[in-house]
Amino acid sequence: MLKAVNLTKNYRSGQDVVHVLRGIDLAVAAGETVALTGESGSGKSTLLHLIAGLDAADGGEVWIGDAEVTGLGDVARARLRRNRLGLIFQQFNLVPSLDVADNMALQARLAGRHDRQWQAELVARLGLGTLLTRYPEQLSGGQQQRVAIGRALAARPALLLADEPTGNLDEATADEVMGLTRELVARSGCALLMATHSQRLAATLDRRIHLHAGRLA
């Protein structure tokens, strides 16, 4: 489902070049759940952004299915994100002018795959049935993250990318949210790559990889 080959990314800091990613090779199978761990600043978010086509690599390739992300232009990358990817971030990134129901349906509608029955199942499993007419500012952090998960899965993506999705949540809420995420990922059949600093949460996924000094271990 996902393949990265010799992926590199550098940044300039004054006169210096910072090598963030130094030849990353990574594969994630369809339906597999993988935790990406590493200390703060190790490049976890950068790697996810390159996979999603939100940033450009300096070298190497990223493939999602049969599409080479690194070979696409801006418009084609945006189309690929809409049609094949689900994205969950630490910041919930809900649309403040849309209520819960419309936030959840947004990407699925843009992708032309809005399925009322599937969305109703997501609403029920995520415990959002009484919140559908509320707006993001009326929700707790845990509730907003549930909406973000529902939005990402409503379009039935092939690959779900999650960047510290429980970083703003307390431990009990994080465990609950991650339990629901794993269940719904299994139900939808998509693959999951999740960046997390939590070894405890990482241990609940199928496989764990560690990013250190720009390389995977």
What residue ranges define each of the domains in the chain, with the CATH number in brackets?
31-56+77-216 (3.40.50.300)
pLDDT tens over the chain, length 217 residues? 999 999 999 988 888 888 999 999 999 999 999 999 998 889 999 999 999 999 999 999 999 999 999 989 999 999 999 999 999 988 889 999 999 999 999 999 999 999 999 999 999 999 999 999 999 999 999 999 999 999 999 999 999 999 998 888 888 888 888 898 999 899 889 999 999 988 999 999 999 999 998 999 8
**If 0-12 CB within 10 Å is exposed, 13-18 middle and 19+ buried, where does residue 164 land?**
buried
Which amino acid is located at 115 in the chain?
D
The predicted structure's pLDDT at residue 35 = 97
The torsion angles phi and psi of 23, rounded to 5 degrees, stand at: 80, 60
Q: State the pTM of this model.
A: 0.93
| Residue 174 pLDDT | 86
The two structure tokens encoding residue 164: 């510290």
Tell me which residue of 42, 150, 174 sits closest to 99, measured CA to CA.
Answer: 150
Element (H, E) at 158: none
Q: Which residues contact 64 (CB under 8 A, 6 or more apart)?
A: 1, 2, 51, 80, 84, 85, 158, 159
